[in-house]
Structure 1
Amino acid sequence: MAGYNGNTSIAPIQMSSVYLQNKIGQNFPEYIDLVSKKDAETPIHTDWAKLTSSPTWTTQDRYLFIKEFSEKYGNQSADYWNNNQVHHIRPRIYGGTNDFSNLMPVPVQQHQLITTWFRNY
């Protein structure tokens, strides 16, 4: 493409950051687990339909996740599991399952921010 004086003047367009926002404009709280490197945001879509009720989540489900996580990433301390909650990347109320691939540990405070964000999804 030629400019005013015949010289080319094409400059690359700078990429802007894209933020996932809920219906009231809050940005999704970013979090990447330091152990597994799972990103709480990456697989989120904006078109998930809300179910009438959530599938169950039990202490046995939590135990099985921690067991598989430990087998895959090594044992974490009891303190680690006391300070982290198991987060459903795709929330159960939006069709998320208890499958290992949909779960990740998230610090309690960060998990509260994510849960609050989803109230206005």
Structure 2
Amino acid sequence: LSGFKVIEPDTEYSQEVWLEVDNNSGETKTLSEVDEDFLEKVRKEYKSPEKVITGLKESNEIQVTNNREPTFNPSSSLIRLYYHIEVDDKNSRIKLSTTITELIGETPAIVIFGFALYSGNSRNGSFRQRTILEREWIAPRLGQTASRTFNVTNTQFWTANYTHTVGWVGAAPRTGTGSSETFLLNSKAKPYPKVINEHNNTVMPEPSMTTWKVVPENERTKREPKLKNKYIRWYIDTYGNPRWDWSGIHVHHVRPLKYGGTNAMRNLYPVPADFHIKVVTPWWANY
């Protein structure tokens, strides 16, 4: 519907970490930014001599010779760790994985890491650890990976933290830490829907808590008669007239009446009717 932008929610979160050892000083460091020119230089330092076919021997074996030798004395060795979170709403689970996606130069003697998944009842509240992926890789290899899945059964906010220690022979090991974004999933691991009101540049608010209880029907607030008309007047007075065709818009309760919400204007948000019926309401059905 014109005036609204539906954003496909993220189902994957990832972060890559580069660590470097200086082959001369033995200093190990985490690279906050990776310059492509620097990477290309280091790759060239370690590039194998090119091979050329010079002909066939009588045994039909291909004969090759070295065409050139490396031009530089390697100055650094690098490793890239890739931390990945995949939300699988078809099977109601979260998958954590850690992979070595690049090795340049000398292979580290050891890589130790922990990738922990946490959940909480509010975005800014306390979180508790739900599972952890831990490994100790001796002489790690390119493409080495480990993963762990966790079954989602409750609506929660989720985040993940990682820590790793990488050490090369003759160099002091380096430890680093980091964290993922925080994201909201319902009890079926479905990400919270996202739609932007382009008229007042707001995003549909998410529930502030994941522990709202169902209020008995005879105790919950009833929807006001002609609530939509009242909301339209309030919206125009507050934000100006968006010139929408309001017949294609539903007024969504950010905190549903079923879970203790009210008809207060600040608890309401306009959404395209089709999006409300097909996406928002099903998400709340598994809150």
Gaps of 5+ in 2: 1-19, 33-175
Secondary structure at 2:274 match in 1:
helix
Task: Count residues in correspondence.
Answer: 118
Structure with a larger share of its residues in helix: 1
Question: Do the aligned partners of 1:29 and 1:110 also contact (CA within 8 Å) in 2?
Answer: no
Asked if 1:64 corresponds to 2:255, the answer is no
Over the matched positions of the two proteins, sequence identity in percent amounts to: 29
Asked if 1:26 corresponds to 2:47, the answer is no
Q: Who is 1:102 aligned against?
A: 267
Asked if 1:73 corresponds to 2:239, the answer is yes
Q: Who is 1:82 aligned against?
A: 247
Gaps of 5+ in 1: none
The separation in 2 between residues aligned to 1:58 and 1:85, in whole angstroms, is 14
Alpha-carbon distance, 1:76 to partner: 3.5
The separation in 2 between residues aligned to 1:46 and 1:36, in whole angstroms, is 27
Distance change (3 Å), C-alpha of 1:6 and 1:25: same
Question: Do the aligned partners of 2:252 and 2:271 also contact (CA within 8 Å) in 1?
Answer: yes
Distance change (3 Å), C-alpha of 1:43 and 1:119: closer
Secondary structure at 2:251 match in 1:
strand
RMSD of aligned Cα (Å): 2.5
One-letter code aligned to 2:273: V
The separation in 2 between residues aligned to 1:106 and 1:42, in whole angstroms, is 13
Q: 1:8 aligns with which of 17, 29, 39?
A: 29
The separation in 2 between residues aligned to 1:50 and 1:77, in whole angstroms, is 36
One-letter code aligned to 1:108: A
Question: Do the aligned partners of 1:51 and 1:94 also contact (CA within 8 Å) in 2?
Answer: yes
One-letter code aligned to 1:8: K
TM-score, structure 2 as length reference? 0.37
Question: Do the aligned partners of 1:88 and 1:103 also contact (CA within 8 Å) in 2?
Answer: yes
Distance change (3 Å), C-alpha of 1:86 and 1:7: same
Alpha-carbon distance, 1:71 to partner: 0.6
The separation in 2 between residues aligned to 1:103 and 1:20, in whole angstroms, is 20
Any idea what the Cα deviations from partners look like across 1:10-64, whole Å, max 9, x if unmatched?
A: 6486764433111111111111222233322444321211111242113332222
One-letter code aligned to 2:233: K
Secondary structure at 1:106 match in 2:
strand
Distance change (3 Å), C-alpha of 1:45 and 1:37: farther
* Structure number, greater radius of gyration: 2
Alpha-carbon distance, 1:8 to partner: 3.0
Distance change (3 Å), C-alpha of 1:34 and 1:114: same
Asked if 1:120 corresponds to 2:141, the answer is no
